[in-house]
């Protein structure tokens, strides 16, 4: 009754069905709900950068008044959107830092009590950490530093380092991504930690402290970094430096696909590298072998000058980078292997 041909046909049918189910699951995992995606707006990019880069925040110097206001502002956004504290209690990760000779160190580097008692300049700094918990194991960390250079009183006239591009722009990207994922109404497979680092300008203090104190480093499947993602250069319109770990070629493929599919106005320079160390908060993670994705729109004459102001930001571009990165975060949190 069951001919050999019939059995073969049935087997082929089953295989096809299995493949179809697998493809649909894969596609489901990758598809980011449109209500999350459309919640990312140029207006919100503008508002976040505008607040953080305001003179009233006094250049967001780490451990100083303006820096504390920036941190409180970020926490208020997390609370408003239902982004939970990382440790279940507080959005802050406090750390004590001190100047040791010419460089700054934190209490995670060594016991700084002695140098503090001996009169070293010291400050209390804080990372801001929010979390969206995943259904399964694994962690994706998405970060940007929120501190900047403070005020230079030696400068005649405006000595306030507004740090709009460096790095209010990156903070705006991380905050909008956190909000969009919350707004999507979907729980990711992996946990996503949103980290706004303090003390980057003094030597990556916040991200170094986090990595040193982290008890789940081996669970972190990727660290995504934003540092200066708000400028457009006249000679290279749409230019985005997109750096990612060479061991993860999919990271490049995803961006190509998303730019095409969503019609994003970005012209990335794809840089796959085995050595994404130096420059920004990706460094402590890369040193531990964590794969990296890093967005950056290149330096400019206003870099580390009081003239890095909010009016010079290309908001449509910053918002498109945020959109592209949000789709990437969703894949990083849901695609099983990369």
Rounded to a whole number of angstroms, the minimum distance from the CB of residue 262 to Zn ion is 27
Strands in 107-216 per DSSP E = 122-132, 139-145, 191-197
CB atoms within 10 A of CB 333: 25
Taking the least distance from each CB to Zn ion, the nearer of 132 and 204 is 204
Q: Total residues at the site for Zn ion (CB under 5 A)?
A: 3
List binders of Zn ion among 211-230 (CB under 5 A). Answer: 227
x/- string (CB under 5 A) for Zn ion, residues 255-294?
A: ----------------------------------------
| Nearest-angstrom CA–CA distance, 272 and 288 | 18
| Nearest-angstrom CA–CA distance, 170 and 318 | 9
Distances (CA, A) of 186 to 32, 59, 193: 9, 37, 16
Taking the least distance from each CB to Zn ion, the nearer of 237 and 299 is 299
CB atoms within 10 A of CB 261: 9
Contact between 166 and Zn ion by CB under 5 A: the answer reads yes
Taking the least distance from each CB to Zn ion, the nearer of 123 and 202 is 202
Region from 113-121, 128-136, 167-175, 235-243 binding Zn ion, contact rule CB under 5 A: 167-175
Contact between 147 and Zn ion by CB under 5 A: the answer reads no
Rounded to a whole number of angstroms, the minimum distance from the CB of residue 188 to Zn ion is 27
Residue 95's H or E segment, with its range, is strand 92-100
- Bridge partners (DSSP) listed for residue 98: 105, 122
Taking the least distance from each CB to Zn ion, the nearer of 167 and 207 is 167
Q: Given candidates 54, 106, 167, 169, which one binds Zn ion under the rule CB under 5 A?
A: 167
| Nearest-angstrom CA–CA distance, 95 and 199 | 10
Q: How are beta strands 220-226 and 292-296 bridged, if at all? A: parallel
Taking the least distance from each CB to Zn ion, the nearer of 84 and 302 is 302
Q: Residues in the site for Zn ion, rule: CB under 5 A?
A: 166-167, 227
């Amino acid at each position: 009754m069951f001919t050999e041909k019939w059995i073969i046909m049935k087997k082929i049918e089953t295989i096809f069905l299995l493949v179809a189910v697998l493809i649909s699951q894969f596609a489901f995992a990758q598809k980011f709900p449109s209500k999350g995606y459309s919640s990312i707006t140029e207006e919100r990019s503008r508002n976040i950068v505008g607040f953080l880069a305001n003179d009233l925040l006094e250049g967001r110097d780490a451990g100083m008044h303006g820096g504390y206001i920036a941190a409180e502002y970020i926490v208020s956004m997390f609370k408003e959107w239902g982004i939970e504290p990382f440790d279940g209690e507080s959005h802050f990760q406090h750390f004590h830092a001190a100047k040791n000779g010419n460089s700054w160190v934190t209490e995670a580097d060594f016991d700084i009590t002695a140098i503090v008692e001996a009169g070293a300049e010291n400050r209390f700094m804080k990372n801001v950490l929010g979390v969206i918990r995943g259904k399964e194991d694994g962690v994706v960390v998405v970060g940007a530093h929120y501190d900047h250079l403070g005020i230079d009183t030696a400068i005649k006239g405006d000595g306030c380092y507004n740090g709009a591009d460096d790095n209010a722009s990156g903070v705006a990207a991380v905050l909008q991504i956190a909000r969009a994922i919350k707004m999507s109404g979907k729980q990711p497979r992996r946990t996503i930690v949103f980290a706004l680092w303090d003390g980057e300008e003094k030597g990556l203090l916040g991200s170094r402290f986090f990595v040193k104190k982290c008890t789940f480093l081996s669970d972190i499947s990727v660290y995504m970094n934003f540092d200066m993602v708000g400028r457009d250069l006249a000679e290279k319109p749409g230019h985005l430096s997109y750096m990612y770990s060479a061991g993860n070629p999919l990271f490049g493929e995803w961006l190509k696909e998303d730019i095409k599919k969503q019609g994003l106005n970005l012209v990335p320079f794809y840089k796959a590298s085995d050595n994404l160390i130096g420059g920004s908060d990706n460094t402590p993670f890369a040193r531990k072998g964590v794969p990296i994705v890093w967005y950056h729109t290149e330096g400019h004459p206003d870099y580390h000058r009081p003239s890095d102001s909010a009016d010079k930001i290309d908001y449509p571009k910053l918002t498109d980078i945020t959109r592209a990165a949000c789709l990437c975060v969703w894949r990083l949190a849901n695609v099983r292997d990369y």
